[in-house]
Chain A
Amino acid sequence: MTWADMGWLILAIVIFIGFITIVVLGLTYGERKIIARFQQRLGPTRTGPFGLLQPVADALKLLAKEDFIPGSVDRLSFWIAPIVVFVPAFIAWVTIPFTRDIVISNMEFGIFYILAVSGLSTAGLLMAGWGSFNKYAMLGAVRSAAQLISYELPLVVGVLGVVMISGSLDLKVIVAEQDGLWFAFMQPIALVLFLIAGLAEVARAPFDIPVAESEVVGGPFVEYSGMHWSMFSLAEYANTFAVAVLATILFLGGWRGPGPDSGWGQDVMMAFWFLLKTSLVLLAIFWVRATVPRLRIDQLMSLAWVVLLPLAFVNMILTAFYLYYDWPDWTMVAISFAVLAAIGIAYQRRRVSRLATIETAKVRVRQGKVVA
C-alpha cells in the first residue's frame, strides 16, 4: 500500500464517518417526525425550517452538557463502554456498498464481517451495565446479552439462505445475483427472519427490552449523560440504519431499479433506488415502534428459540434442496410463500382460539334496576 493509497483511505473513512453521522442525525429527525404523525403531533417545528435543525440543536445540547460520572462507577469500563459500542457500529459500514461503486473497501466476506462486528457491541453494553454500578443498568445489560445470543442465531442462519443462493459473502455479488428476481421473493422466510431478528439485535421496539423505559429506565444507559450518552444513541441509530441497509442489499435488490444503463445518470438512479428502498424499510421499523407494545423477556426468548430458529433451519434446508436438485425458481418461491402462509394460518387459528377464551359479561342496569 502506498502513501497515496493510505491517504485516500483515511480521507474516505473521515468522509464516511461524517456521512454516517449526518445520516444518523437525519434519522433521528425522521423518526421524530414520522412517529409524531402517528401520534397526531407535529414533531419538531421550531428549530429551522420544518424543524430540520433539531438534530443539530440536540447534538449541540449534548456536547455542552456536563458529562456526569457518578462517584461509585467502575471508571475504566464506564469510560470505555460507549466507545466499545460506538466503534463496531461504525466499522461495520466499511464494507457496505451504497451503490455499485460507492464503498470504502469491498470485502469478499462482507456479510460475515458485518454480522461478526455487529455482535461486538454487546460487550460494550455489558461493560456499561457493570461499570455503572446500577441495578437497572446491570439488568439491562444482562438482558441485552441474552437477547443478542438468542437472535444472532436465527439472523445468521436466515442470511445463510441468501448466501447459499448467491454463492458469495460479497455484498456486491449478492446484489448482482438479484438481477432476475429479488431475494425477497426467493427467500421470503429469510426476509421475515432478518427483519424480526434485526430489530431484536439492535433492540428496537417491540424488542427494546434491554432499554425499556418503563421497566429498567434506559437499561445500560441510565447513568450516562452528555457526550457519552450520545455515543450510545449514535450507535443505536447507526445500527438501525444498518439493518435497513442490509435488508435492502440482501433482499430488495440493493441499488437495482429502472434507470439509465451508463453515465452519471446511472449512479444517481442507483443511489436513489437504494435510498428509497432503505427509507421504506426504515418507515416500517418506525411504524412498528409507534404502534406495538413491548414483549416480555421470556416471550422474546421463546419466540427466538421455538419459532425463529427452527424456521431458519427449514429455510436453509429448503434452499439446499433447491440448489442441489436444481429446482426451477418458481418452486422455491411457491414453497417459501406456502410455508409462510401456513405459519400465518396457524397463528391466526391460535389467535382466534385465544380470543375465544376471553370471557366478559355485562350487567344491564335500567332505571336503577338490574334487568336480565
Chain B
Amino acid sequence: MPVEHDLRTVDMLLNMGPQHPSTHGVFRMVLRIDGERVTDVEPHIGYLHRGSEKLCERENYRQIVTLFDRLDYLSNFNNELGFVMAAEKLMGIEAPERAQFIRVILCELNRISSHMMFYGAYGADVGVFGTSFMYGFRERETIQQLFESVTGARMMHSYFRVGGVFQDTPDGFEAAAGKLLSQLKRSVEECDRLLTKNEIFLERTRGVGAISAADAVDYGMSGPCLRACGVAQDVRLIEPYLTYNRFDWDIPLGKKGDCWDRYWVRLEEVRQSIAIIEQALKLMPKGPIQAPVAKFGFVKPPVGEAYFRAENPRGEFGVYLVSDGKTSPYRVKIRGPSFVNLMALRQMTVGHYIADAVVILGSLDIVLGEVDR
C-alpha cells in the first residue's frame, strides 16, 4: 500500500512496446506508473494490421485458407478449420469422416504446440532464464516435424480444404503420432515440475491479475482465460463440431481467474488434448479425405451467410461468412479470441506492479497476428 506522504510526485508514462521483449509481438501499452505501481494502462494495437478480412473478399476460397494461417500464427490449423467449416456450413456439406479425424488430430496437436509456446514465453516473462523456453520449444519442434511430414510446411500449412483436407496422411503417421504422444506425456510432466509449484512462480502469479467470472463474461473472454475463472465454456462441448462428441475428456477449470489459474488450465489442457488425440488415432477410419465440392477448381457456395465458431487454443474463434454466390466471399468477419481477451488487460493490470503487467499480459497469451488481423 502506498505510504501517506507530503512529497509531491508525478506519475510517469512508460511506453512498453511495440519493440519490447515481453509484449509478445508488436503490442504496445502505455503504462502510467507511480514508482513501480501501475495506475493506468492504455493498449495500442494495429502494428500488425494487414487487412486480412478485406483481402478475403478478393481471393477465392482456397486462397483464403492461406490468409487464415497467418492470423493466429501459433495455431494455424485451428484458424484454417474455422474458415473451411464456415464455408462447409454455408454449402451444407460435411467433410468425410477420415478428414474430420485428421482435422481433430492436427487441431489438438496444434493446441498442444500453442500451449507449449505459451509455457515457454510465460516462463520467460516470469523470469526463468530460457529454460522454460527451451522446454516448450523442444515439444513444439517435434510437433512441427510431424506437421511437416503431413502438410509439407512447418507453420503455414494451407492444408485444410473446403470439404476435406489437401492430402492423406503419410505412411506411418499413426505410429509417429503415437510415439510423439508418449514423449509429450513425459515432457508435460517435466514442464509441470519446473514451474507449476515453484515457490517464486506461485508468489508471482497467485492472486495477480485476477478477474471475476462475471467480469470475464462481460468482457466476452473465452478459452483458457475464461475457464480459469471457473466458467465451463468450451465450444467443443456446447456446440460440438467435427467428431468431438465421440471423445472422453475433461475441461480443466480454475477458481480465482488469476495468472496461475490461467497457466494451470493451459497446462492441463495439454494433457486433455493428448487424451483426445489418442482416442482419435484409435477411432480414425480409412476412406476418402475430400468431399467433391470444387467445380473447375473453384469453390462456389450459394448465396447466404454462415457463422461458425470453434475452440481455438486462445478461445472462441468465430468466422462470419457472407457469400453472394461468387468464387470469393462477399464479406468475412473474424472474431479473434486474443483480441477480445486483451480487452480485460486494463482492469487486470491497474494497481499491480510493472513486473506484474508483463506477467498478466503473458497469461492472456495473445497473438498479435490475430489481434490486429
Residues of A within 8 A of B (CB): 35, 38-41, 135-136, 139, 143, 205-206, 208-209, 212-217, 289-299, 351, 354-355, 358-370
> Can you sample 13 A-B contacts with CB below 8 Å?
A214-B126, A215-B355, A217-B20, A293-B128, A293-B200, A294-B355, A295-B204, A360-B261, A362-B250, A364-B248, A365-B251, A367-B248, A368-B245
The CB with the most chain A CB atoms within 10 A, among B127, B249, B253, B358, is that of B127
Chain B residues with CB below 8 A from A40, complex form: 134-135, 138
- Residues B230 and A206 in contact, CB atoms below 8 Å apart: no
Instruction: Take A135-B14, A361-B253, A365-B249 as given contacts and tell me if A290 and B131 are in contact as well, using a CB distance cutoff of 8 Å.
Output: yes
B: residues with CB less than 8 A from A are 12, 14-15, 20-22, 36, 123-131, 133-135, 138, 194-195, 197-204, 206, 230, 232, 234, 236-237, 240, 244-256, 260-261, 264, 268, 353-356, 358
Find B237's partner among A136, A299, A370 (CB 8 Å cutoff): A370
**A292's contact among B15, B22, B200, B264, by CB below 8 Å, is which?**
B200
Interface pairs A-B: 6 shortest CB-CB: A294-B127, A368-B245, A39-B134, A359-B255, A293-B126, A214-B22
Contact present for A291 and B12 (CB under 8 Å) = no
Q: Is the pair A206, B130 in contact by a Cβ cutoff of 8 Å?
A: no
A356 to chain B, nearest CB (A): 12
CB-CB under 8 A from B126, the residues of chain A are 214, 293-294
Interface centre among A209, A354, A361 (most CB of B within 10 A): A361
* B-side contacts of A215, CB under 8 Å: 22, 354-355, 358
In whole angstroms, what is the CA distance A24 to B264 when docked? Answer: 40
Residue contact A368 to B128, C-beta cutoff 8 Å = no
Contact between chains at A365 and B237 (CB < 8 Å): yes
Docked pose: A363 CA to B247 CA in angstroms: 14
Q: Which of B14, B135, B244, B255 contacts A368 (CB 8 A)?
A: B244
Main secondary structure of the interface of A (DSSP, over half): mixed
Closest Cβ of chain A to B116, distance in Å, is 14
- Are B230 and A296 closer than 8 Å at their CB atoms? no
Q: Is the CB of B134 within 8 A of A355?
A: no
Determine the distance from Cα of A289 to Cα of B132 in the docked complex, in whole angstroms.
12
* Residue with the greatest number of chain B CB neighbours at <10 A, chosen from A205, A216, A217, A293: A293
Q: Are A206 and B200 in contact (CB under 8 A)?
A: yes
New contact pairs (17) apart from A38-B131, A292-B198, A370-B232, CB-CB < 8 Å: A39-B130, A39-B131, A39-B133, A143-B36, A206-B127, A212-B355, A214-B124, A290-B128, A290-B129, A299-B203, A358-B206, A360-B261, A360-B264, A361-B230, A362-B253, A367-B248, A368-B240
Q: Give chain B residues whose Cβ lies under 8 Å from the Cβ of A292.
A: 128, 198, 200
Question: What CA separation (Å) do A217 and B127 show in the bound complex?
Answer: 12
Given A215-B358, A298-B353, A367-B246: A291 and B128 within 8 A (CB)? yes
Cα of A219 to Cα of B102 in the assembled complex, Å:
48
Could you say which residues of chain A place their CB within 8 Å of the CB of B198? 292-293
Q: Which residues of A are found within 8 Å of B204, using beta-carbon distances? A: 293-296, 299
User: Which residues of A have CB within 8 Å of B237?
Assistant: 363, 365, 368, 370
Q: What CA separation (Å) do A290 and B244 show in the bound complex?
A: 40
Tell me which residues across on chain B come within 8 A of A290, comparing CB atoms: 128-131
Chain A residues with CB below 8 A from B268, complex form:
360, 362
When C-beta atoms are compared, the residue in chain A nearest to B227 turns out to be A363
List chain A residues, Cβ under 8 A from B130: 35, 39, 290
CA distance A270 to B282 in the complex (A): 65
**Chain B residue nearest in CB terms to A296:** B355
Pick from B12, B253, B358: contact of A363, CB under 8 Å: B253
Residues of A within 8 A of B206 (CB): 354, 358
B200 touches A295 (CB 8 A): yes
B-side contacts of A293, CB under 8 Å? 123, 126-128, 195, 198, 200-201, 204
Kindly list chain A residues whose C-beta atoms are within 8 Å of the C-beta of B240. 368
A205 contact set on B, CB distance < 8 A = 127, 129
CA distance A209 to B354 in the complex (A): 11
A351, A359, A361, A363: which contacts B199 (Cβ < 8 A)?
A351
- When the two chains form their complex, are residues B353 and A212 in contact, meaning their CB atoms are under 8 A apart? no
Residues in A neighbouring B12, C-beta threshold 8 A: 135
CB contacts (< 8 Å) of A143 on chain B: these are: 36
Q: Is A291's CB under 8 angstroms from B131's CB?
A: yes
Residue on A with the closest CB to B245? A368
Contacts of B355 in A (CB 8 A): 209, 212, 215, 294, 296-297
Query: In the complex where A205-B127, A293-B128 touch, is A213 in contact with B356 (Cβ < 8 A)?
Result: no
Q: B232 to A363, Cβ gap below 8 A?
A: yes
Chain A residues lying within 8 Å of B202, measured Cβ to Cβ, are 354-355
A40 to B244, CA, bound (A): 36
Alpha-carbon distance between A368 and B260 when the two chains are bound, in angstroms: 28
State the Cβ distance, A172 to closest chain B Cβ, in Å. 36
Please name the residue on chain B nearest to A136 by beta carbon. B14
Q: How far is the CA of A217 from the CA of B199 in the complex (A)?
A: 24
The reply to whether B358 and A214 contact each other, CB–CB distance below 8 Å, is: yes
